[in-house]
Structure 1
Amino acid sequence: MAVDTERVAALTRELLVAIGEDPDRPGLRETPGRVAQAAAEMYGGIGQDPAAPLAHTIDVSQGPAPETVPTGAVLVRDIRFRSMCEHHLLPFEGRAHIAYLPHESVVGLGSLARVLDIASARPQVQERLGEQVADALEHGLGARGVFVMLDAEHGCMRTRGEKRPDSSTVTIAARGDLATEAARAEMAAYIIIGAQNAATDAAAVKGR
């Protein structure tokens, strides 16, 4: 179901009136249309299956000799994402770290980001978002194990209520062989090491 941009624009105009603004003044005249287009992007994942990008897999058991099958996890770190908190319709955004244990097939790395894009393009809570990505990989890809860590800053925490601009929220969703305590610790360690290396590289570049 596509976002009804005409209705969103009309409702945005009504919202401007409701808060005491004049929607016909120059600065706001185009705002309803702009909000409608933003809504089409932010909520475009509603009704879509997050597992759809996993339909095309790559068989890595066949190829140049010697033939083999994957034995370790595939981990993609620092995937930027943004979504809208369903409680206040304020944005939250951050980085996702996604790992899975394949069988004989893997998926293009960009597909992992697209799974996240679809699941996040709807009113969400961070806890559910991570679980939906994990479910998509477990069932859509048949992964032996899945690990999803999200680290995000929330507009509702930064700009209203508690007003804690420096806070971030970390959630973890894990399935199968990557749900054990040891596996979760291993994945977290890889993510932390990656962040430390990135910080070291950035400091080295800055110091040149």
Structure 2
Amino acid sequence: MSDPKYAQSKFLSRGPLDPKDAKWTKLVLSTYTDPNGVERTWESAERQTRPANCPIDGVGIVTILNKETGPELLLQKQYRPPIDKVVIEVPAGLIDPNETVEECAVRELKEETGYVGVAEQTSCVMFNDPGFCNTNLNMVHVRVDMSLAENQNPKPELEENEFIECFSVPLAGLFGEMKRLEQEGYAIDARVGTIAEGIELAKRFKL
């Protein structure tokens, strides 16, 4: 059996990017004073894709599939050139102009996984890597009714540059499964890793 398409990507090269050619990000230099009044500078990156009058860039989607064997977290595998690895991620995407966070989550879930769902809960605004970039998002819990006909054999609606494999992992064993996948060479997205850590903390402290 041949490798799935997401695993057939091949890293070719890396080099400097002229700012005038950047479509998605830009580098910025911030000047500030620390608590002692000392003036300092900080290099960081900013997205150029955030819609006007919108406070966030995108969403991460938490979808639990209630199967006969128990609840499973819907995940996906996708090659990410910045780290030259296939990453284990939750479904996610950028917000379109005039779109709510919840609308974005439902749309992206359908496009990336084929599942039709209903947004039920939205997190606080989360910053992915605030020491480096201003990128932020909301995590949205989207409920998928597995009894609906449209969710029996979901088919993603991927763009021509998207190569994503969807799969699910039992919630109870998420932490161990992420460790296993890391050992196999996959990279673990921080959102998935944090969910796994949260489950382990809940077990330990019987929350």
What is the TM-score when the length of structure 2 is the normalising length? Answer: 0.26
More helix, by proportion: 1
What is the TM-score when the length of structure 1 is the normalising length? Answer: 0.26
More strand, by proportion: 2
